A and B are shown apart, each in its own frame.
Chain A
Amino acid sequence: MYRYDEFDQAFVAERVAEFRGQVARRLSGALTEDEFRPLRLMNGLYLQLHAYMLRVAIPYGMLSSRQLRQLAMIAERYDRGYGHFTTRQNIQFNWPRLTDVPDILAHLAEVEMHAIQTSGNCIRNVTTDPFAGVAADEIIDPRPVCELLRQWSSLHPEFSFLPRKFKIAVTGAAADRAAVFFHDIGLRAVAGDGREPGWQVIVGGGQGRTPMIGAVVREHVPNGQLLTYIEAIMRVYNLCGRRDNKYKARIKILVHELGLEAFREEVEAEFETLGVSTRQLEEKELARIATYFSAPGYAPAPGDEAALTTARALDGVFSAWVEQNAFPHRVPGHAAVTVTLKRPGGEPGDATAAQMRGLADLADRFSRGELRVTHEQNIVLAHVRKKDLKALWEGLAALDLAEANRGLVTDIIACPGLDYCALATARSIPIAQKISTRFAAPERQREIGPLAIKISGCINACGHHHVGHIGILGLNKAGEEYYQITLGGDATENAAIGERAGPGLSSDEVADAIERLVDHYIAVRQEGEPFLSAYRRLGADGFKEALYADRQNR
């Protein structure tokens, strides 16, 4: 994975010193709270419901075991012993004190980490496919471009006071595991047809209160011109994006109001005026960064397949975990394993300091000391020998992290909701807990098959409910929390926004309603047909009827 050189290290060290000075000036009154707010946000520090929350960047989700141990130390020393992994491949600490934050940032800098631009109206942490570099369907490894974007966007003089936050996602594979159609800018690798490797650029996607599927603004930008093209998009957005209403300030609204054609013309005109001098530099830098991501020298593993088959035959629980949580690796004899942070009844995405240390140790033993955080709030170990899967699984079981539920009904995405978040209108975590408890039986989960439930505690959609096969949106009417259900959302290359099923449900009704919905699906599905396919084939009516069956009977 990427390692800082002396320039990167000096940069984060200076940023820590800068923030220390900003905190001091806030405490002295030189900075008003209004002036301090964007500065602390640009260092990932939110003022939440009960306390400050620090969001630490995990650039494109890549973590070393050393970094994870440092996060565990921070969780213990400055927080309450746990951290929360988010849908943007970051980690959040919910209880730091303002005066401790500069020290926490210094501890992060010790392990080549930071909290730069995890919040604020700037370019946020770039996200990507957690299987980057190992997926069999990969066209271009997206991580060098992600790292180039991380550097270029860090403390960008021109683009740090944008109309609104700005999120970029990159996928290098044929399948989209980074939700590129739901970001301000999405990049998809393109190659072949005699073209040099490059990127399809998608713009104006997003969730929130106005969900939109992004549109292709350009079919192909060569690698070495990508930053220049993105700079052109950013400049048009910075100058033309709305600033009169924060709910209409995202680029998706600009694209929508201007129209894609007019927006494209603006961007292309800007792109034309920018010189070519920097493009060679980008190529050189991409080549330099790429050396950090060259495939590790995998040992040939001809006997692994047989060893795994034997181990699976002897232990059905282990076998089910392999079936569900192992992702095909491009190198024979290896697997990329998802460790879900979704124990039924638990808090989605949370990990204790002990679990973080345990995961770091397992990564060292079995996966080259490297981990990835996924936008589904799980952890991926990307380089596991198949003969080691059994020992890894046993190690995970000892950490209470061996759930065989990746992509299943209990692998629920949920935002922190009203338990933590100042913006939330309803609780998310207890709803996730009720549903995952209801469906806890492993056989039941496997019987249901692939099903993505996503829960947001407010209209801002941090829990990605719009793209859940079943989406749950928590709202509040006259002091009463209630939940709106959407059906048919899809975050992949077949992007779709879920449709609202009907009236809201009380928190007590949700789990029952979801269960009726699932039972209906099982009754009507064809052999091997996943929930989403059945929903698309049959249409919404039967599913809605099942969802509200109790009301009709009353």
Chain B
Amino acid sequence: MLIARTGEIANGWHRLDDSAPIPEGGDIIISHRRLNERLQHETAHGRIGLEVANDIDVGDLAGVLARLTLIAVEFPSFADGRGFSIARRLRHLGFNGELRAVGPLIADQLSHAIGSGFDTVEIPTALAERQPAAHWLAALTTVTTAYQGNTRGRRSILEARHGG
């Protein structure tokens, strides 16, 4: 299930298996190890999404960010918060495409994901059965105030106080 701040949304991206050939068209998400292969595949068209593990050095992506439309950051466990800092670093580097958190996050973390710079969260189907989209939206709308601003325009309490 793919969740955004508005609730469940359709996933227009196709995640390409590492063993599958790179297609000529379509929006595909590829793994980090196939990035160069896709970038050098000059006849392929369609948008490029990149999936990265959460121990990546974000600085290594600086040179290719402009060619990526989506970056998916893996969360091996909801308790492993490295992905939130990776999102922040990508936003600081100027990445303005879709940032997606992928893995078994829980509903209560949608605000963390958005607050760190993610646009969407993609969770496994089994988890979605236990935690449907309504839970995610409810969690997000329960806490509407925050002391921290974010890169996607949320005003922090500090900004509201001081007219920032």
Contact = CB atoms under 8 A, between A and B. Distances in A.
A57 to B, nearest CB: 15
A314 B163 CA distance: 59
Interface stretch (B1-9, B19-27, B45-53, B138-146): B138-146
Contacts of A22: 108
A158 interface: yes
A7 B160 contact: yes
B79 interface: yes
B15 to A, nearest CB: 24
A18 B112 contact: no
Contacts of A282: 158
Interface residues of A, number: 43
Interface in B72-98: 78-82, 84-89, 92
B92 A273 contact: yes
A285 B115 contact: no
Given A14-B145, A31-B106, A151-B147, A157 B162 contact: no
Contacts of A273: 92
Contacts of A155: 111, 143, 146-147
A481 B98 CA distance: 57
Contacts of B39: none
Contacts of B28: none
A37 to B, nearest CB: 9
Name the interface size band of chain B.
35 or more
Given A14-B144, A157-B115, A30 B135 contact: yes
A152 B114 contact: no
Interface in A105-164: 121, 151-152, 154-162
B162 A238 contact: no
Contacts, number: 113
A152 B147 contact: yes
Contacts of A39: 106, 108
A158 B116 CA distance: 6
B143 A157 contact: no
Contacts of A7: 145, 157, 160-161
Interface in A152-211: 152, 154-162
Contacts of A31: 106, 131
Nearest to A151: B147
Contact of A17 (B82, B109, B142, B159): B142
A259 interface: no
A265 B88 CA distance: 19
A25 B84 CA distance: 24
A152 B148 contact: yes
Nearest to A42: B108
B130 A285 contact: no
B164 interface: yes
Contact of A157 (B114, B135, B145): B114
A313 B146 CA distance: 56
Interface in A1-15: 5, 7-8, 10-11, 14-15
Contacts of B135: 25, 30
B142 A14 contact: yes
B79 A38 contact: yes
Nearest to A275: B92
B31 interface: no
Contacts of B69: none
Contact of A161 (B79, B86, B144): B79
A288 B164 CA distance: 14
B148 A156 contact: yes
Interface string A8-50: 1011001101100110010001111001001100000000000
Interface in A442-485: none
A243 B159 CA distance: 34
Interface of B: 78-82, 84-89, 92, 106-109, 111-116, 130-131, 135, 138-139, 142-150, 157-162, 164
Contacts of A152: 147-148
Contacts of A157: 84, 111-116, 146, 148, 150
Given A18-B143, A161-B78, A161-B79, 18 more contacts: A7-B145, A18-B108, A18-B139, A22-B108, A30-B130, A30-B131, A30-B135, A39-B106, A156-B147, A157-B115, A158-B115, A159-B84, A238-B85, A239-B82, A274-B92, A281-B164, A282-B158, A284-B162
Contact of B112 (A8, A158, A284): A158
A225 to B, nearest CB: 15
B142 A21 contact: yes
Q: Which of A38, A39, A239 has the most CB of B within 10 A?
A: A239
A21 B131 contact: no
Contacts of B84: 157-159, 161, 238
Nearest to B84: A158
10 contacts: A5-B161, A21-B142, A32-B130, A157-B116, A158-B81, A161-B80, A235-B89, A238-B84, A278-B149, A281-B159
A268 to B, nearest CB: 15
Contacts of A285: 158, 161-162
B81 A160 contact: yes
B82 to A, nearest CB: 6
Contacts of B88: 158, 235
A38 B82 CA distance: 16
Q: Which of B92, B143, B149 has the most CB of A within 10 A?
A: B143
A544 B107 CA distance: 56
B142 to A, nearest CB: 5
Given A18-B108, A39-B108, A159 B143 contact: no
A510 to B, nearest CB: 39
Given A14-B142, A18-B142, A161-B112, A154 B164 contact: no
Contacts of A38: 78-79
Nearest to A11: B145
A273 B108 CA distance: 29
